[in-house]
Amino acid sequence: MLTRIATLLLFGAVTFQAAAASSTDAPAMTTHKDFTILHSNDEHAALVPSPVAEFGSPGARTRGGIARVAMVIERIRAEKSAAGEEVLVVSSGDFISGSPFSWLVLNESSPELDLMQMAGYDVVTLGNHEFDYGPEILAEYLKRLGYPATAAKLPIVASNTVIPDGHALGETGLRNTYIRELDNGLRVGFFGLMGKHADSVAPMAESITFADQHETARAMVAELRNAGADVIVLLSHSGEAEEQELAAAVPGIDVIIGGHTHAILAMPIRVGSTLIVQTGTEYQYLGKLELRFENGRVVMRNHPTVTDKPYLIPINDDIPPHPAVEQRVNEYRLQLNQMLADMTSGILQSNEQPVVYSAFTVSRNPRLSETPMGNLVADAMLYQGSIVSGRQVDVAFQASGVIRGNLEPARTDVNKGQISFHDLAKTIGLGSGPDNKPGYPMISAYLTGTELRRAGEVSILLSQLMGDTYFLQTSGLRWTYAPERSLWLTIPFLGTPIPSGRAIQQAWIYRGNGMSVMPSRLNDRFVELPRTDEQLYHVVSDFYIAQFLPMVGDVVPHLAITLKDEQGNPINSLEERILYYDGREYKVWQAVTDYLMSQSTQPTSGMLPAIPARYQGKEGRQVVVNKRPYSHWFGYIGGLSVAFIIALIANRIRARKRREVTTT
C-alpha cells in the first residue's frame, strides 16, 4: 500500500464536450449491424432492494436488487430477439463487497457472480473491491463457481492485472481479451482495466499489481484488431476522468463501460469517436446502449439528445423480481441469517431485522469534510472502544472511504423510520481481519499529542492529493484547518507536491470524565492541544487505517506517526493491538451496531432505540479556515526563489550522475 500511495500520480480531470451521435454526424449508411449492450458497474453485492426495512411495504420506494435486474435483462433480450438483434450484458467491476451478502464469501460462498451469471451477464472485469479479502480468497471464490471452465460462459477480462507465477489467481482463467461473434456476423472485442486510483485503494491486492493503463490499452486494441474485432469495448474500473484521459490518448476504443466513481452519467460522454458511460452503484440503474455498426463506426441509436428511448433504466419497485433468481437470492439470505446468528450469539437472527429508529437520514456527505455519518461512526468507536478495552479512549479515527453510504430510514407508513441491520451494516461492513471474519477489527494504540496533530495533517494532505477516501473522521479531537496550506508548493514542471505539515491551525482534545458520549458542541470539556505535546493519548481506529497512517511517515518524515503501547514502546505487531470481545475480534460494524442499540427508545420508534438528533448535521469538529496558500508567499518572494530551488535540485541530480559515471 505504501508503494501505491508514494507513486500515485496527480491526474487532473480533462473536460470534454459530450457530442450526440446521430444520423447527421455519421457517413452515409450503406450496410449496418445493430446490437445492444446492457451494463452495470459497482454493484457492491446489492442483491436485495434497498433500503431493506422498506422493501415489501405498500408504497415502498426501494432501488436495486439482482432479481429485478434479471427480469429487465430477460425482457429486453426477448424484445430484441424478436427484432433479430442480440444483447450483451456486461459489468465493469466491484460486484463483491458492500453489503452483508459479501460476508458469505468468507463462509465459502460466491453469491454475487453466481447470481450475475444466472441473470444473464456475458462478460465482466474486476474492480478494487474484488480484492478486499485478498487475491487468494478471490481465487477460491472463482474456483467455487467452476473457473477456469466457467470462463467459457462468463469470461473475466482483466488485461492489466499482473499475477505472479504460481499464484492461485493465475489458475482461474482470467483473460486479457475476449471476442464475441454475434449472429449477424459482428465481432465485438472486450478488454478490461483497473484504473490508477482504483489500484491505489486496493491495499489487500498484495502481490497482485496492475500494469500501466495506457500501454495496456494500446496493446489490447492492437491485439483485438489483429484478431478481427469490428467493435472494441473497454470494461474500465477507473472513473470518468481517467477514462476520458485514456480515450484521448489511445485511439481505437469504440465504447468504454466505466466504473469506480459511482457516477450516474445521464448523458454519455464522447471523446473523439469513443463513447463513455456509467450507471452509478448498487444497481440503481441498468444502462441500455442501443448501438449500430456502420461503415466502420459505432453509433448510439438511443442517445438522450436525439431520441426518447431510455438509456438509463431505473431499477425500482415498478419491476417484479425474476422468480428463479429471487429463489436463489432467498437461499443466500438463509445462509446469511445463520451466519449472523452465529457471529452475534443469537442477538441478530435476520439480516432484515430492524435494529434502530431514525427520524432523518444520516448523511456521509459532503465530501472532504466532517460528516454526520462520520461523526456517528467515530463516536461509536470511541464509546465502545472504552467499554471493550476497559480504558478511557481519548480519540477515535475512521476514514471516509470506509464509510460506504448514508443511513436511510424506511419512509413507508408501515415501518416508517426503521433501519434494518442490512441497511446499517452495508455502510460500515467492509474488509476482514486476521481471523478471516467479516469487517475490519478495531485496534487500540497510543499516540503523542504531536502525532495526533500529524494524523490530521496526513488526513488533509492525502485527501487533497488522493480524494475523499483518506479524509479522517474524528471523535474526541477537533481542529480548524486550512487545506490550501497542506503544501509548501508544487514544484513547477515536475508537478511534485512538497507537504508543509502546517494545515492544522488549532486543535482541541476532549478531557471530560468517564466514558460518556462526546458533547454536541465545542465547550469547556475540550482543551487546546499544543503543536508539540509528548503526552500519550489512547486512540482507537480500525485495522485498515492503522496500517496506512504510519506508512506516510516513510515518505514524508516530518509527518511520522509511530503506534505505541501503554508504556510508549513502539508496537511490533498490529495484530497484538486488536480489540477482542467474548473471545472474538471486535469489528467496526459491531461497535456501531452496539452503540446505536444502546441508545434510549422513544414512543414514536416502536420501542426501537433512536439515533440521537445530533447526527442530523455536522457539529463543527473540523472547521475550514481561509488562509492564503504558502505558494502565494513564494509568489511574493518571486519566481527567482522557485528557480533557485529547481536549480539546486537539478545541480544535485547532475552531481549524482557525475558520481555514477566516475564510479562505473
Residues 76 and 48 occupy one common structural domain = yes
Pick the closest to residue 115 from 132, 127, 103, 101 (CA basis). 101
Residues 285 and 394 occupy one common structural domain = no
Rounded CA separation 430/421 (Å): 14
Cell of 625: 479556515
Residues 598 and 641 occupy one common structural domain = no
Rounded CA separation 637/258 (Å): 45
Rounded CA separation 553/501 (Å): 11
* CATH number of the domain where residue 9 is located: 3.60.21.10
Residues 293 and 392 occupy one common structural domain = no
Distance of CA 403 to CAs 90, 344, 461, Å? 27, 22, 19
Contact 203, 542 (CB under 8 A): no
Question: What pLDDT shows up at residue 660?
Answer: 42
Q: Are strands 504-510 and 395-399 parallel, antiparallel or unpaired?
A: unpaired
Cell of 382: 470511541
Question: What pLDDT shows up at residue 647?
Answer: 52
| Residue 221 belongs to a domain | yes
Question: What pLDDT shows up at residue 557?
Answer: 82
Q: How many domains does the chain have?
A: 3
The single-letter DSSP state of residue 43 is -
Say how far residue 226 (Cα) sits from the centre of its chain. Answer: 35
Rounded CA separation 154/174 (Å): 10
| Residue 335 belongs to a domain | no
| Residue 321 belongs to a domain | yes
Cell of 420: 434494518
Chain segment 151-210, per-residue pLDDT in tens? 999 999 999 999 999 999 999 999 999 999 999 999 999 999 999 999 998 988 989 999
Question: What pLDDT shows up at residue 555?
Answer: 75
Question: What pLDDT shows up at residue 553?
Answer: 78
Contact 110, 145 (CB under 8 A): yes
* CATH number of the domain where residue 600 is located: 3.90.780.10
Positions of the chain with pLDDT under 50: 1-29, 493-494, 514-522, 632-642, 644-646, 649, 656-664
| Residue 519 belongs to a domain | yes
Contact 616, 360 (CB under 8 A): yes
Contact 534, 446 (CB under 8 A): no
Q: List beta partners, residue 19.
A: none
Sign of CA dihedral 418, 422, 427, 429: positive
How many C-beta neighbours within 10 Å does residue 389 have?
Answer: 18
Please tell me the chain's helix, strand, coil percentages from 3-state DSSP, rounded to the nearest 5: 35, 20, 40
Contact 423, 52 (CB under 8 A): yes
Q: List beta partners, residue 175.
A: 157
How many C-beta neighbours within 10 Å does residue 418 have?
Answer: 25
Residues 12 and 109 occupy one common structural domain = yes
| Residue 332 belongs to a domain | no
Question: Residue 332 contacts by C-beta under 8 Å, 6 or more apart in sequence?
Answer: 47, 101, 104, 109, 111, 115
Q: Are strands 536-542 and 395-399 parallel, antiparallel or unpaired?
A: parallel
Rounded CA separation 96/68 (Å): 18
Give residue 35's region: left, alpha or beta (phi > 0; psi -120 to 50).
beta
- Which helix (H) or strand (E) element contains residue 210? strand 209-210
Pick the closest to residue 75 from 284, 318, 322, 290 (CA basis). 322
| Residue 346 belongs to a domain | no
Collapsed DSSP state (helix, strand, coil) of residue 207: coil
Contact 55, 49 (CB under 8 A): yes
Q: Which amino acid is at 27?
A: P
Cell of 84: 433479430
Alpha carbons within 13 A on the beta-carbon side of 26: 20
Chain segment 35-82, per-residue pLDDT in tens? 999 999 999 999 999 999 988 888 889 999 999 999 999 999 999 999
Residues 270 and 210 occupy one common structural domain = yes
Alpha carbons within 13 A on the beta-carbon side of 588: 31
Question: What pLDDT shows up at residue 624?
Answer: 93
Rounded CA separation 130/94 (Å): 6
| Residue 331 belongs to a domain | no
Structural domain containing residue 460: 353-624
| Length of the chain as a residue count | 664
Residues 249 and 391 occupy one common structural domain = no
Sign of CA dihedral 652, 658, 659, 664: positive
Cell of 407: 443511513
Question: What pLDDT shows up at residue 59?
Answer: 84
Residues 138 and 61 occupy one common structural domain = yes
C-alpha Rg value of the chain to the nearest Å: 26
Residues 317 and 385 occupy one common structural domain = no
Rounded CA separation 135/114 (Å): 18
* Cis, peptide link before residue 366, omega less than 30° from 0: yes
Residues 70 and 111 occupy one common structural domain = yes
Residues 527 and 640 occupy one common structural domain = no
| Residue 57 belongs to a domain | yes
Residues 218 and 78 occupy one common structural domain = yes
Question: Residue 590 contacts by C-beta under 8 Å, 6 or more apart in sequence?
Answer: 344, 384, 439, 581
